[in-house]
Structure formats: C-alpha cells, structure tokens
Amino acid sequence: MGFEDLRPWTWRGVQALDSRGRARISGQTSIRPYWRCYYSNTAAVVFVIDSTDTERLETAAGELRAMLDEEELRDAALLVFANKQDQPGAKGAGEISESLRLAELKDRNWSIMACSAIDGSGVSEGMDWLVQTVGENS
C-alpha cells in the first residue's frame, strides 16, 4: 500500500490528508479522545514530538502509550519524528527515545528520526523507512 492508496477525509473541518498524500490528525488536547475513531485498519502511526518542549514530553509519552495499547493498533508500525532539530536546545533522537521509553516496545516495528520540518532534514528518511516497513507487512 502506498500513499496513492489513501483517500482523503475531513473531520470537524480539518483536512486529514496533506498535499503529499499523508493522513494527519492533530494532537490538540481537545481532539485526542477522537483519535480512536480512526484506528481501524491503521498500518502505521507517525508521532511528531517537539524536541524543544521538554515540559510536555511526559504527557506525550503517556498519550503515545495509551494509543499503542489499543487493540486496533497492535500491529501498526510506529515512526516518531523528533522535530525541531534546527532549534537550540532540542533534545536528540536518543534522548527523546528514552523519554518515550521506546525500547520497551518489544513486539512492534518502530523507528525514531531526528528531523526539522523547517529545513526538511530527516523527513524523507523517516518516510522511506515507514513505506518500506508498511510494505513489508502488507
């Protein structure tokens, strides 16, 4: 399955498919309870972390854990983007991985990629991993 197989859908006025064909759901607190409405048939989760916002890492770890504990996501691959690596004080992918306790995910394909949405570094590499991983499991 490739990005061309994704179909756009709109929820609460939010376009959930970006210009490159990638599905996207916001992480706002008010929207999180609705995430589970879209878990069915999910092949992968892309979780983007603001690597400069250390105060919310514990919350992010809890939300990620709760999401991955859902039965419908048990086989979904996980790609974590440690974003804002272009900013001073950004935690590296290793530190983010430790904060999220990713090493505890024993029965799941996962990867973490340091990236910058501003300059694009790391984004293609992460998406390449995701496409390859999802393709192998289809």
The answer to whether residue 114 is domain-embedded is yes
Q: Are residues 123 and 56 in the same domain?
A: yes
Q: Which domain holds residue 57?
A: 41-133
The pLDDT mean for the chain works out to 82
The secondary structure element, H or E, covering residue 81 is strand 77-83
Q: 135 falls in which pLDDT band (50, 70, 90)?
A: confident
83 among the known binding-site residues?
A: yes
Q: Are residues 56 and 120 in the same domain?
A: yes
Nearest CA-CA partner of 49 in 6, 11, 103, 97: 97
Q: Are residues 19 and 32 in the same domain?
A: yes
Q: Are residues 64 and 92 in the same domain?
A: yes
Q: Are residues 117 and 57 in the same domain?
A: yes
Q: 17 falls in which pLDDT band (50, 70, 90)?
A: very low
In the prediction, which pLDDT does 130 show? 93
pLDDT at 107 over 80: yes
In the prediction, which pLDDT does 40 show? 79
Residue 130, beta-bridge partner list = none
Q: 33 falls in which pLDDT band (50, 70, 90)?
A: low
The answer to whether residue 138 is domain-embedded is no
The residues assigned a catalytic role are: 28
Q: Are residues 106 and 63 in the same domain?
A: yes
Q: CB under 8 Å to 13, separation ≥6 — which residues?
A: none
106 among the known binding-site residues?
A: no
Cα separation, 31 vs 129, whole angstroms: 27
Q: Are residues 20 and 85 in the same domain?
A: no
84 among the known binding-site residues?
A: yes
pTM exceeding the 0.85 threshold for the entire prediction: no
27 among the known binding-site residues?
A: yes
Q: 16 falls in which pLDDT band (50, 70, 90)?
A: very low
Q: Are residues 55 and 117 in the same domain?
A: yes
Q: Are residues 128 and 89 in the same domain?
A: yes
* Total count of domains within the chain: 2
